[in-house]
Structure 1
Amino acid sequence: MTDNSHAFSRITITTTDMEPRFCPGDTLILQGLPSGGDAIRPGTEIACTTRDGNTLIGQFLHQCARGIILSQISPLKITFIPADHEPILYRAIGLERYSPTLIAPQIPPNSQNTKSQNDIYNAFSR
């Protein structure tokens, strides 16, 4: 395993599989963990990347010489990650919730538009 205890990273959620805990657009803020399971308590939310590029998000359960066991969020199941897949662990230390900003459409002025914006507003506020 790699010692990345000073590394920070971010992962942006792109799937709906983990709703309602994590939604598309949410960003997990991660801190790298030292190799070995000493610094991780069972139940800690982690992200685990492997040498083949997979990233799993879940709760840490156990680590031994053969690998890591975590409770994966999506799909909900217990997952074993063998040590030969070179797992790199990150602790989830924060979450930035995605909140889209809605912009009201503007009505362009033109000679064919006979209703004013006030007329349209009044029609919708009745």
Structure 2
Amino acid sequence: MPVSPSRAFRMRIFVVVGLFWVCQLFCLGTSVYAQLLVAHRGASADAPENTLSSFQLAWEEGADAIEGDFYLTSDNQIVCIHDDTTERVSGVDLDVASATLEELRKLDVGSWKERKYINERIPTL
């Protein structure tokens, strides 16, 4: 079964980030038994996932690394979002790979989580 270009891109980003952290462990002489706290989609339990607020909160809470999900838009911009559509986090059903950055940046992806995150936008790389 062929893999979609956006899924292949996300997989490549995941592998590159993973390899980076493996290299950091060995290059910095850190014990291979040391535990790192990797914030999945940022501090996604407390803030809207894959947003700058979520990433900032993860750093403030002591995360060693942050894992994010990335897609390529129709105008070749890299955006940070987990799903292939925006419906779950914005209430507006746009296909991320078919949308432009301008269309995606208009969406509020924070208020679904908590009122204080109203007007949170999809981050870019």
Into which bin does the TM-score normalised by the smaller protein fall? Answer: under 0.3
With normalisation by structure 2, the TM-score equals 0.28
Of Structure 1 and Structure 2, the greater strand share is in: 1
Structure with the greater alpha carbon radius of gyration? 1
Tell me which of the two structures has the higher relative contact order, counting C-alpha pairs closer than 8 angstroms and 6 or more residues apart. 1
Name the one with the larger helix percent: 2
TM (normalized to structure 1)? Answer: 0.28
